[in-house]
Chains A and B, each alone.
Chain A
Amino acid sequence: MVQSGNRGIIRRRRVLQVGAGIGALQFASPFIIQARGEQSVKIGMIDPLTGAYAAVARSEVEGAKLALDQVNAKGGILGRKVELLVEDSANDVGIGVQKARKLIEGSGANFIFGDVNSAIALAVAQVTAEKKVLHIVTGGHSDAVTGTDCHWNVFRVCNSTVMDGNAIAGVLMSKFGKKWYFLTPDYAYGHSVQAALVKQLEAAGGKWQGSLTPIGTPDYSALLIKAKAYKPDVIVNVMGGGDQVNSIKQYVQFGLAKQIPMGGTLFEYESVAALPDDARSGWWTYEWYWNQPKTPHVADFVAEVKKRTNQVATARHWFGYVGVHTVALVSNQEKTLEAPKLAKALEGFKLPPEVALTPNPAIYRAGDHQLMSDVFVGQAHPKKAGGDPNDFFEVTDVVPGEKAAGPVAGCVLKYPA
């Protein structure tokens, strides 16, 4: 083959470029080896720091960081420093799975946390189970996580949708009555919450009607008129995110708030805080609430979060906080980082009061690895004159986790041989 002179020059340049590239690698590699040599315990946290859940995801990370500093101040895990490696899942299952592999295989993470998005939590759980890494689902609410798709290595801090539904159902029936109208988003989450609520209602002999609404509906006037015509004792709103905010705003604007009470399951502090003052209304559940004057240690936690982030502590801060303390406590108790032993030890594990921060004890249930923690039921209200400007909610009932969760459903735990 005859080469022209011109090509030869390019080739020589290529050789030089490749050589320079290889040379540069020599600088890079020692750092990698050094990083592996450090004996810190690594917690990999995957959360959607960008996208629709960014606000709540950041709260979870802040809570985890707070707990991390506390754990490190007390000597870390097994005397080793603990590191938190935070990765953005960008609300995308593919990226979430990839980040899980990156954390486990690339960085050697000993524990995996996440995700706010249940689909990502479920997909990452498959990876962590395969890799035998203890996995704490901090904030994904789908029933499947500790239900039909539960894994031996997966524990969940936040409630399942059924727990939230069961907790509010009794309160709504006793306070208002047994004739309900549902505003339900037409997808998996909405269906499962409505099913949980209807089951309770029908068991008590109640009746109901409802509308399934597409996600992203901007106008609820027709639905609210239909709801009013049914003359329900209560309108049950199980919408999520922006739809929840919009539907509540319109419910208040149409003056329905003065005629028919509204209730529903989750109404996260981050969402309520974003509402105009007069739209803060209705009966909801919180998975944790900051204003618990009688519960010890809560005030310290709230003050610490305030000091670090200048924000009010929310359930999401608490999820991250509980997650980090859980793995630190159980590892130090068992003196190991082996996931199967830790998972066994976490079954029935009771959180100490300074971690639980709830009136009743919080325990990881052995049957499905769901944390049994109190559900706070109460009424949202506008800022009270002279009251704390961050207090939008009055807790009327605290429903213990076991009562809200009911028996273990659909979960069969299979430990590796």
Chain B
Amino acid sequence: MKLRPDIVGISLILVLAPFWLPLVHGYEALGTRVLVLGLAAMSLNFLLGFTGVLSFGHAAYFGLGAYGCGFALKYLAPSTPLAILCGMLLGTIAGALLGALIVRRRGVYFAMVTIAFGQVFYFIAFRWNTLTGGDDGLRGFSRQPIDLGFTTINIADNLTALYYFVLVCFAIAVGLMGLLLRSPFGRTLLAIRENERRARFLGLPIEQHIWLSFVISCAFMSMAGALYALLNNFADPKGLHYTQSGDFVIMAVLGGMRSFWGPLLGAAVFVVLQDSLSSMTTNWQSWIGVMFVIVVLFFPRGLLGFLRRKSQA
């Protein structure tokens, strides 16, 4: 098998992050946050960039993953892998049920319905005080060390260990997404994205494919949400809000939604800008907005598309 230079490069950057981050005024929690939000943006992009439908309510599944993870740690058992699994289950089941109702809509109607369903979960989390903690958020749980049998990885106190744990989860998720996209199923999704009518005339079951893509996207999204809950030891209703969905869309478009790694770059730029600009000015959101507008106007393929074209020129 040939080694792909982009994968090797990104792996090296990510694996060595704890060593070079302090040199550029970074810290591990920031790196972990980039990974988690990058995974979320890439999951959204599975649907947006590779199936061609825009979900504006994906924060709901992100938040459900976070709450599912928190519930499992708080009420079920103190086990981190179980918690991630529970978070993914909650988000995926919700995605599968609602996806079945949504997939027949297209374009702006698809986006509107996803927002509406997303807000349903937001208000449930916001108002069900006894279960979710309401506006104060779900707390009183904490990530647990991982017992591998022969050794324990202390992700509870050691942030470097947490970073590598999240990186492993990220790698598994991204690897699976990459494999899926290279499979005949993935090619079919591209065909639907390029020309839905033609794909339909070829006899492809469009709705089933979009539904499956939606569910896969929700599964990885809720995994990102579960990891986010572990990172913060907290789940809050704002993680389900449509503004959070908007942030994910911005990350995907900023980095380049037609490329596999684009959303990761978008998330990195977004998170780092958010972190550094907001320490300097309270108007940091306008700067991110300006950057978003510039990217959309002048680099329609996103930052990664722009960099690629430059290196090929």
Contact = CB atoms under 8 A, between A and B. Distances in A.
A187 B126 contact: yes
Contacts of B133: 188
Contact of A95 (B27, B139, B274): B274
Given A28-B24, A119-B236, A88 B282 contact: yes
Interface in A122-162: 122-123, 126, 130, 142, 144, 149
Contact of B29 (A49, A101, A144): A101
B233 interface: yes
Given A32-B25, A119-B136, A50 B282 contact: yes
A93 to B, nearest CB: 4
A29 B24 CA distance: 8
Nearest to A187: B135
Contacts of A144: 136
A207 interface: no
B135 A188 contact: yes
Contacts of A126: 139, 142, 233-234
Interface in A103-117: 105-106
A189 B237 CA distance: 14
A118 B136 contact: yes
A98 B29 contact: yes
Nearest to A191: B129
B284 interface: yes
Given A126-B142, A187-B134, A94 B228 contact: yes
Given A90-B278, A98-B33, A98-B275, A122 B137 contact: yes
Contacts of A186: 127
B275 A102 contact: yes
B278 to A, nearest CB: 4
B275 A123 contact: no
B16 interface: no
B94 interface: no
B115 to A, nearest CB: 16
Interface string A171-202: 00000000000000011110100000000000
A25 B228 CA distance: 30
A130 B135 CA distance: 23
A71 to B, nearest CB: 22
Question: Chain A binding site: helix, strand, loop or mixed by DSSP?
Answer: helix
Interface string A86-97: 011011111101
A408 interface: no
A412 interface: no
Contacts, number: 103
Contact of A119 (B135, B140, B279): B135
Nearest to A188: B134
B308 to A, nearest CB: 11
Contacts of A189: 135
Contact of B24 (A25, A101, A142, A188): A25
A126 B133 CA distance: 16
Contacts of A98: 29-30, 33, 275
B234 A123 contact: yes
A2 interface: no
A35 B25 CA distance: 11
Given A10-B311, A187-B126, A50 B285 contact: yes
A38 to B, nearest CB: 16
Interface in B224-265: 228, 231-234, 236, 238-239
A413 interface: no
A123 B135 contact: no
Contacts of A188: 129, 133-136
B296 to A, nearest CB: 22
Given A106-B27, A126-B142, A188-B129, 17 more contacts: A49-B278, A50-B278, A50-B285, A88-B282, A90-B278, A92-B238, A93-B137, A94-B33, A94-B232, A97-B231, A102-B29, A105-B29, A119-B137, A149-B140, A187-B127, A187-B134, A188-B133
18 contacts: A29-B23, A87-B279, A90-B285, A94-B33, A94-B231, A94-B239, A95-B278, A98-B30, A105-B29, A106-B25, A122-B139, A123-B139, A123-B234, A144-B136, A188-B129, A189-B135, A191-B129, A191-B134
Q: Which 7 residue pairs spanning A and B have beta carbons closest together?
A: A188-B134, A101-B29, A119-B137, A123-B234, A93-B236, A88-B278, A49-B282
Interface of B: 23-25, 27-30, 33, 126-127, 129, 133-137, 139-140, 142, 157, 159, 228, 231-234, 236, 238-239, 274-275, 278-279, 282, 284-285, 311
